[in-house]
Structure 1
Amino acid sequence: MLQVGLNPYGLTYHLGLQGHGTPRANPDGRGLEGFIQLAEELGAKTIEIFEPWIAALDDDAVAALKARLAALGMTPVVSSGLNHGPLDGAFRSAERLDAKLIRVCLTPVLCGDRNAAGETWHELVRGVHAALADCAPRAVSEGRTLVIENHQDFTADELVGLCEETEGGVGICYDTGNTLPVGEAPLDFTRRIAPWVRHVHLKDYNVQFTDEGFRLVRCAIGDGFVPFREVLAILAEHHDKLTAVLEPGALDVRHVRLLTQDWWNGYPPRSARSLAACLQAARRNRLADDADYRTPWERGEDGALVSYELDMIRRSVANMKAIGVMA
């Protein structure tokens, strides 16, 4: 069912995206070329490409890239976000590459922490509604779909609402690791959004409980809290085929402080049953409370980062092959 490949966000140090423009950036970052080579090595069938990489290429280079991906049997997805400004550039890149899907991150909010954004959260939501209302007709006219990601900011109900209020052109990019950050269990989240899913980010985390909530700690996909067999079975009830990409979590650990009262500011009421399901799901393959949760990036061990990222993506591939997600 899944046409699985890669996106660059689980390999940010290896590719030169982590710390870009700072002294800690990888001086040997492999960029787009290294990304394609790794995707080919791992047998990727889908490749989600960071939009600025495409924008930096001239027309001849884009034509060569398009032909190369076709020869490799990789379906391109353009990756962008409203936090980078209007989507005109993403539409242009999708047209040049003939990509039918444009993945869209909606806000800069992380860890479900709407309270940290204050009143800005409501402004962000209004901006999202306006941007999608403006861009959806263009997507329809061009035969493309804006796939909006649950990027640790919107709940399942809210994502479905954003899709329903547009007349086509908008679907969901489902990040499987990003249900807990908004206090929702993965299976509940999946059931709600499944009919609207058009693209999947296969992500996983080990959870470490804290006095304020829990940390989400990067791990190989399949080693964490996400029950992939069950999640994918739900998606299969609605879709014969979907594109998907492997994306281990960020090098910065996420702390979801949902056991504090202020964290819930900006959320609608939630049932105790729903929250209980979230907390129960978070206990699967959890880390010990006293385990060192830091990644090499957070420990300042930059020299270990390339092997750390590559080993994790290769273990993720092995895990997905073991459950029949990848050939």
Structure 2
Amino acid sequence: MNDALTHVLLTGGTGFVGTHLIDRLLRGKTGSGTSSEGGRLLVSVLTRNPDDAVKQFTRQFSDLDVSISPLVTTDVRSLAASQRHGILCIDRLDQLSDLAAPEAVINLAGAGIADKRWSDSRKQVLRDSRIHTTEQLIGWLTTRDTRPRVLVSASAVGFYGAQGDRPVTDDTAPHPEFQHEMCADWEQAALQAEKLGIRVFIPRIAPVLGRSTRGKLEGFLKRLVPPFRFGLGGPIGDGQHWMPWIHVSDLCKLILTALEDERFSGPMLACAPDTRRNADFAKTLGATLHRPAILPLPAFALKLGFGEMSRLLLTGQQATPKAVEALGFEFDYPTLDKALKAVLD
């Protein structure tokens, strides 16, 4: 294949954040109207359903003229014969054996942590979808003669567990609980890539604010906004727990920055600097929607309905992203007011 080709491998590429990353990667190449600027870009997406992924990405880039739109395919040969940027959708890593090695890997795979009640079997799904997938990825990288320069592997702010009113920075000691244990094992699996000479950056990601590339609300706002629109929103429990967050645009910007900047290494908080208490978050959300935010959601009801998973809604971290800010990273949406207006206006 063309020596100028740049190759990025993504797991979790069909999800909320993954599709935004692919959009930024490829529209950055095609936005000037030329498909040759900076060399060809190949994004390989590891997914359980390659055919569905092809349909998804074909729709995502359907607004572009065919001369500059990426070729979306499951066929390595057709991609090799093309001169266009490409998205290769695969369900096995060995399908990449005949391609140039990826220069960067972005690992976002993981079942939705708030999608279902946390039964023992669901907890195992959450762990396996993160830890086993990461272990399999590292195992595959050990077989490659040429290895990527960098692995960006997701973690979550849940690494720190519930912290009450204690300020949380990157090196704050965690509170042991399920979220921490899962994230810690997830991070350790990714850090094994350092033994292969690969730089590893682990963003501990806060709940993400934003819309999908098709304009639909995603993340926790997808569930939170509808009751507020009907005037039924308000604080959760007593509203005093902290809610870290990050706008999807800033998260993508941070990940793409880390691909190029070697100073981004190891675990770092990926949250906006404007963490709010839940009651303040609810008030700001209501103001953005021009709706009241006075009806509390009782904690006992959440505990009854969601069991242990209710901790996602009733606990949090007063987090500050000191490490990334010390490296000069600038947030485009540093305040909650600005971020919510960008998403909801």
Shorter-chain TM-score: what band? 0.3 to 0.5
Q: Which has the higher contact order (CA 8 A, sep 6+)?
A: 1
Higher Cα Rg, which structure: 2
TM-score normalized by the length of structure 1: 0.39
TM-score normalized by the length of structure 2: 0.38
